[in-house]
Structure 1
Amino acid sequence: MEGEEADPERVARTILLDQLTGRARSRKELADKLASRDVPEEVATRLLDRFEEVGLVDDEAFARMWVDGRRSSKGLARRALGHELRRKGIDAPTVEAALDEVDPDDERETARVLVRRKLRSMQGLETAVATRRLVGMLARKGYGSGVAYAVVAEELRRDREGGDDDELLDGLDGAGEDFGL
């Protein structure tokens, strides 16, 4: 057995099945893994095509699952989700189709939940400081400045019930500049 070389197709099939055991992966992720293990390109392409035919590799299903999972676990917005999917090799039409399933109202509600959760640890901070930190947190999760500022203002107003609205609005003036918003 020592002089025998392993069958590249068998090796590639084992790699693919191992990779798909833990979670779904994009075709590009699997192709990159096969390339890193020196599987010949023609073998990799043939097996990946076959895995797509039988439904084990499906970039559309992967993209939908990724969007659902990352939205619920990390609270990411469409922009951040799109960036992650493109990094995983998902083509633009598939990314757009998966992101089209995200309801803007649901995205805004997710931002609201994130702000409420973070507000618990910000008691006693000045409005401007809390605003800057909360908008920054939402920006890092891919939320646009318009949504971020609106949600933060609403939640700070709600949290500080009856606080001076002028003070709240003053806290918003220029806070986005720190984040390039």
Structure 2
Amino acid sequence: MTSSNRRRGRFGTEPPSTGTAAQDVEPDQESVARAIALRLLTSSARSRGQLAEALARKGVPDDVADRVLDRFTEVGLIDDAEYARMLVRTRHAERGLSRRAIAVELRRRGIDDETAGDALEQVDSDDEDEAARRLVRRKLASTSGLDAPTRSRRTLAALGRKGYPPGLVARLMREELAQQGAEGADELDGFDPGP
């Protein structure tokens, strides 16, 4: 019996031309990569780096991932510069994050330093100071019943988590407490924010 006869045997040709087995063709890797990337982009905007990382976790070979991501970039489905600008706007306006904290997040999301730097230009030092001032006011108001060292520590910690330097926070606390009156201004006497 020849190999072609063996393949046909009593079951017909392999693979069968009809039925479920004929339809269960294994998809090519590019189709799988496209489907994964599209599914991720449907749920939220992502950077090229995030998509590449997700494709690698799913076992998509690097060359296939690069081809798919290149095509998505070419047709505008991936735009790291716009993604970075959007992230800077939302993180600063909605969460009050400092430029430093946003830069760390951009890097973590796979945005290169040059693209991140361009996007961060949307937030200047005046914007950053104003955002920090709003956060200081809010934190001082929410801790008004506490003793001075606790208020200072909590305010410094809250703004530190958002990436603001201790010196800026201490200055803004002094200014805000001075506006509240002499009693509030005395709370920071001897307060040392550290380095």
TM-score scaled by length of structure 1: 0.88
Task: Find out whether 1:163 has 2:179 as its counterpart.
Answer: no
How far residue 55 of structure 1 moved from its aligned partner, in angstroms, is: 1.2
C-alpha offsets along residues 110-137 of structure 1, whole Å, 9 cap, x if unaligned? Answer: 1111122222221122222211211111
1:88 matched residue in structure 2: 109
How many angstroms apart in 2 are the aligned matches of 1:124 and 1:116?
A: 14
Contact 1:127 1:171 in 2 (8 A): no
Aligned-residue RMSD, C-alpha: 1.7
1:72 matched residue in structure 2: 93
How many angstroms apart in 1 are the aligned matches of 2:177 and 2:34?
A: 54
How far residue 164 of structure 1 moved from its aligned partner, in angstroms, is: 6.3
How many angstroms apart in 1 are the aligned matches of 2:184 and 2:96?
A: 30
C-alpha offsets along residues 20-77 of structure 1, whole Å, 9 cap, x if unaligned? Answer: 1122111110001111111121111001011111111111111111111111221100
* Paired residue type of 1:25: R
How many angstroms apart in 1 are the aligned matches of 2:173 and 2:184?
A: 15
Mapping 1:1-181, distance limit 5 Å: 4-158=25-179, 160-163=180-183, 165=185, 167-172=186-191, 174=192, 176-177=193-194, 181=195
TM-score scaled by length of structure 2: 0.82
Deviates more, 1:54-63 or 1:148-157: 148-157
Deviates more, 1:31-40 or 1:119-128: 119-128
How many angstroms apart in 2 are the aligned matches of 1:128 and 1:151?
A: 16
Which runs of no fewer than 5 residues in structure 2 stay unpaired? 1-19
Task: Give the number of aligned pairs.
Answer: 174
Over the matched positions of the two proteins, sequence identity in percent amounts to 48
* Paired residue type of 2:181: E
* Paired residue type of 2:160: A
Segments ≥4 residues shifted beyond 4 Å: none
How many angstroms apart in 2 are the aligned matches of 1:128 and 1:34?
A: 49
- Secondary structure class of the residue paired with 2:182: coil
Greater relative contact order (CA < 8 Å, ≥ 6 in sequence): 1
